[in-house]
Amino acid sequence: MEETQFPFEKVKELKVTPELTHREESNSAIGSWSGYIYQGLCGILVVLRMINEDRGKYHDYSMQLDADEDFTIYDGTNKIYSLHQCKSIKGVTDYEKEFKKIAEKVEAKKDKLLDPDNPLYYFHSNCEVVIDKKYGITPYPFTEKEAYCTPGAIQQLLNEEIKKIKTVESDTDSVRAALETLVNGEVLNIQQKYFDAKPGERLYKIARAQRLPFSRFEEIIGATILKFNKGDFLNQMKSAYIIELDNMSTEESEGTPVAVNAFIDMLNSMGETELMTFLQRINPKDKLVESHECWHDITSKERIHWLYDLITEIPLDKEGLHWKTAKGLQTPSTLGNDEKIERLCAKIDANQANLDFPWIYDWIVGHVDEHVDDISSKARIITKTPEDDVKPSIFRTKKVGILTKKEKKDGIYD
């Protein structure tokens, strides 16, 4: 394929709010963050594997979301090649009722199937599920040994598939992020059309009017330049935090801790402006710009792990995702001990034009090794700026310090 520049199409700002979830349909994964992220990742993996298997054969194929199933693959003649249902619910392995419904669906759709005598119906799950052969449903083979996969593990499989297809050396994570943005944007656009529709209009009818051609996936993979617009950038940031926090909680316990669930719920309900402000607040040393470099920096596993430690060990106030104490407000952060505290303070001080939280918060709490009373004063060790030459700044008008996780847990500055 000829290499081309591929700017993302502008995705309109969505008006999705928690109050609208009463319009969800029971057979749709769209309404919950876990559902649509998992559904999208599974869909991308299926498409990439088909492209890798035979790009020419499947070039005219397309993927449809939330119509006949969570996603459906169509061939170039408008026949159903395969149907796919996705479940990512912790602690649930009994889907017997679902399997019976699926068997009925297959029978009802025989005239639409590319091969009615050998229907391809796959079940994707985040945990091992036993399916009776009588239903004709195949657990999706994520690997040669496992027919189940968590969202984070699917992302690693996606990276492997991208490396097989990509003809020019590039950042695999960035390409994967672009593909996730494409599919998640499609899901959210379908959801918004459903919310905007007249009462009584069915979700599956709206979804049937939209498909993603495999050629769209090929264009992204073949692009030499990948760009984020603001909405794409923020949605991808949100997904990265949600997936990684959920992965960490799964690895450490059988269920997601209440504190993580509450954090994710708040994060998922934030509008564009609120989310941008929040991400800037917990990443005070970075200027948030719509670039893959920024995305990589503030969604690294190390940083999110530092945040995870804070929000699980020291419960946040749910309303503001911070701590309100008798002495003021304290904010969690992704700050860690990966660099000297003086340099960290210098970066925060240099980034003050992009920060508004110092007017509100008295302390930043981080996974750091040293306490800081005044970020601005500490920064001067690196910048070597004399006290008299320091320009007016929000940090000089209102001092802000940094607390270690231990100091916060001990309540010394509360």
Instruction: Name the nearest CA neighbour of 303 among 291, 315, 323, 285.
Output: 285
Q: Are residues 150 and 265 in the same domain?
A: no
- In this prediction the pTM is 0.73
| Same-domain pairing of 263 and 372 | yes
52-92 residue pLDDT tens:
999 999 999 999 998 888 999 999 999 999 999 999 877 77
In the chain, the number of structural domains is: 2
> 367: which DSSP letter?
S
304 and 161 in a single domain? The answer is no
Say whether both 131 and 238 belong to one domain.
no
Q: Which residue has the tokens 């106030």?
A: 317
pLDDT of residue 213: 96
Cα 302 to Cα 20, 164, 262, 296, 384: the distances in Å are 35, 27, 21, 11, 30
Q: Which of 226, 253, 286 is at the close of a domain?
A: 226
Higher pLDDT, 182 or 18: 182
167 and 306 assigned to the same domain: no
Does the pLDDT at position 170 exceed 70?
A: no
Give per-residue pLDDT as tens, 220-258.
Answer: 888 766 677 787 788 888 888 988 888 888 776 655 678
pLDDT over 70 for what percent of the chain?
Answer: 85
Q: Which domain holds residue 74?
A: 4-226
Tell me the C-alpha distance between 305 and 271, whole Å: 24
At residue 24, the pLDDT reads: 40
Residues 268 and 383 grouped into a single domain = yes
Q: Give percent of the chain with pLDDT exceeding 90.
A: 41
Q: Is there a single domain that holds both residue 194 and residue 244?
A: no
What is residue 383's predicted lDDT score, i.e. its pLDDT? Answer: 62
Domain end marker among 226, 247, 282:
226
Per-residue pLDDT band at 50 (split at 50, 70, 90): very high
| Per-residue model confidence (pLDDT) at position 14 | 31
The pLDDT score that the predictor gives to residue 25 is 41
What is the average per-residue pLDDT within 309-319? 90
* Judgement on whether residues 57 and 195 belong to the same structural domain of the protein: yes
Phi and psi of 310, rounded to 5°? -65, -50
Considering the domain architecture, whether residues 169 and 251 belong to the same structural domain is answered as: no
331: Cβ contacts below 8 Å, ≥ 6 apart: 281, 282, 322, 323, 357, 361, 363, 364, 365
Same domain, 252 and 344: yes
| Average pLDDT over every residue of 3-17 | 32
Burial 80-115 (b: 16+ CB within 10 A, else e): bbbbbbbbbeeeeeebeebbeebbebbeebeeebbe
Q: What is the pLDDT of residue 74?
A: 96
287 and 216 part of one domain: no
What stretches of 192-247 adopt beta strand conformation (E)?
Answer: 212-213, 223-226
Q: What is the pLDDT of residue 29?
A: 47
Domain finish residue from 226, 242, 271: 226
pLDDT score for 144: 92
pLDDT at 23 over 80: no
**Mean pLDDT in the chain?**
83
**Does 267 lie in the same domain as 211?**
no
Model confidence at 344: pLDDT above 90? yes
User: What distance in Å separates the CA atoms of residue 268 and residue 30, rounded to the nearest whole number?
Assistant: 13
Looking at this protein, which amino acid is placed at residue 98? E
Of 58-67, 219-228, 364-373, 396-405, give the lowest mean pLDDT range.
219-228
Is the pLDDT reported for residue 116 higher than 70?
yes
Q: What is the pLDDT of residue 394?
A: 55
Element (H, E) at 81: strand 80-87
- pLDDT value at residue 373: 93
> Given a cut of 80, is residue 351 above it in pLDDT?
yes
Asked if the model's pLDDT at residue 164 lies above 70, the reply is yes
pLDDT of residue 21: 38
